[in-house]
Amino acid sequence: MHIVIIGGGFAGVCAARTLAGTHRNIDITLIDKNSSMEFRPLVPDVVSGSIRAQRLTYPLKKIVADARYTFKLGAVTGIEPQQRRVNLKNDRPRSYDYLILATGSQTPVPGFVKKGGDVFSLDTVKDAQRIVRVLDEKRHQHYLVCGAGYTGIEIATHLQKALNKRNIDKRVCVIEMQEDILTTMPQWMKEYSRSSLARQGVQLRTNTRIADVDGARVKLSDETELPNAMLIWSTGLVADLPHIATEPPGAERKRVTVHDDLHIHERIFAAGDCACREIDQHCYRMAVQAALTGGKCAAQNVLATIENKPVQRFEFFDLGYLVPTAGGDSCGIALGRKVSGKTATLLHYAMSFLRLPGMGNKFLGAWDKLSGL
């Protein structure tokens, strides 16, 4: 029995580990376009120099110590459910008996923005390293972050910290098209985060859009033109899914709609950011805990299906959410309770280092943070 997992993020890795923890006659192949798992929750810290980039990666070929586990480096171009086949770019197709989609998400950058020479997103460690190299050149007059969600706010504070470290006398400006920041968050978090941005020297412009990007020139919707600008695009995430023949219904943020047990086709399950099971008429939140829970549930339901046993309903218990900042002035909800300041920051890093793959990464990453790189 051959089970293929596409995606080496939290959901895919958790699914692989769950399957490898059984004693059934199965073979597991995990396919990803990158050779390492990257720990995205701490990628902004690479920009500010708080954590070294190498602490946030772990080889996917070592992620499961089991002879039945194989890692395949490759880009998936499509899935053919009728043939039970996964097509790869520049490689032969891979057949499967059961398939778990765990392809995660990415930041969508509009076409008119991509033409800019100094436009960045921050989805990967390489993205962070590229930003650091450009910051070291000290050649920009303006530093912008588009999007005032929790990721945009976090990125802006780390970018401001990076400028301060380099003695670049500039203030990061967050551009938000809505009237307020953190649109889905409670009002107290919006107010706290606004104050936190101001305390850390970050400017904020709401009711403003990026109207055009031409090279390093950025034009705003109020006709303001900012020459020689560095722009980081952070307007939320969308699912990163390959083409699926007889494609199932889509959902918000281009996620694929799953049934209660996470299946989307016969013998195909999906979990993590790419999957949507509706809770209160909305997809469950894109979160690490949801990916871990979903990856485990998908793997267990594959095994249950193989043995003709009842499958389980996916349930996501949301532990909470945080808006971390580089200055330690964070806020959020943890187990239903409000947390802010250094307590919220400590929770963010404690949970991050707990989930960071590799004991060496955990200890050395924590050492980087504590030593104040």
**Same domain membership, residue 179 and residue 243:** no
160-181 per-position pLDDT tens digit: 999 999 999 999 999 999 999 9
Cβ atoms of residues 331 and 185 within 8 Å: no
- What is the distance between the alpha carbons of residues 326 and 197, in angstroms, rounded to a whole number? 10
Residue 79 lies in a domain: yes
Report residue 172: phi and psi, to 5°. -70, 140
CA-based nearest residue to 190, from 176, 172, 201, 209: 176
Number of Cβ atoms within 10 Å of the Cβ of 297: 25
What pLDDT was estimated at residue 95? 97
**Same domain membership, residue 141 and residue 87:** no
* pTM more than 0.85: yes
Q: Which residues on adjacent β-strands are paired with residue 322? A: 332
* pLDDT score of 278 more than 90: no
Residue type, 329: D
- What is the distance between the alpha carbons of residues 127 and 3, in angstroms, rounded to a whole number? 31
What pLDDT was estimated at residue 194? 97
CA-based nearest residue to 3, from 31, 33, 29: 29
**Same domain membership, residue 310 and residue 244:** yes
Residue 364 lies in a domain: yes
* pLDDT score of 281 more than 80: no
- SS3 of the chain: helix, strand, coil, percent, to 5: 35, 25, 40
**Same domain membership, residue 84 and residue 24:** yes
16-32 per-position pLDDT tens digit: 999 999 888 999 999 99
- What is the distance between the alpha carbons of residues 54 and 221, in angstroms, rounded to a whole number? 39
CA-based nearest residue to 223, from 202, 235, 234, 209: 209
Provide the 3-class DSSP secondary structure of residue 33: coil
Percent of the chain with pLDDT over 90: 88
Count structural domains, the chain.
Answer: 2
CA 302 to chain centre: 25
Residue 192 lies in a domain: yes
> Which element (helix H / strand E) includes 270?
strand 268-270
- What is the distance between the alpha carbons of residues 138 and 157, in angstroms, rounded to a whole number? 18
Pairing type for strands 268-270 and 98-101 reads parallel
Cβ atoms of residues 118 and 216 within 8 Å: yes
**Same domain membership, residue 195 and residue 206:** yes
CA-based nearest residue to 268, from 76, 109, 42: 76
What pLDDT was estimated at residue 117? 73
- State which residues form the domain around 306: 2-33+74-106+237-318
What pLDDT was estimated at residue 234? 96
Cα–Cα distances in angstroms (integers) from residue 55 to residues 33, 34, 42, in the given order: 20, 16, 10
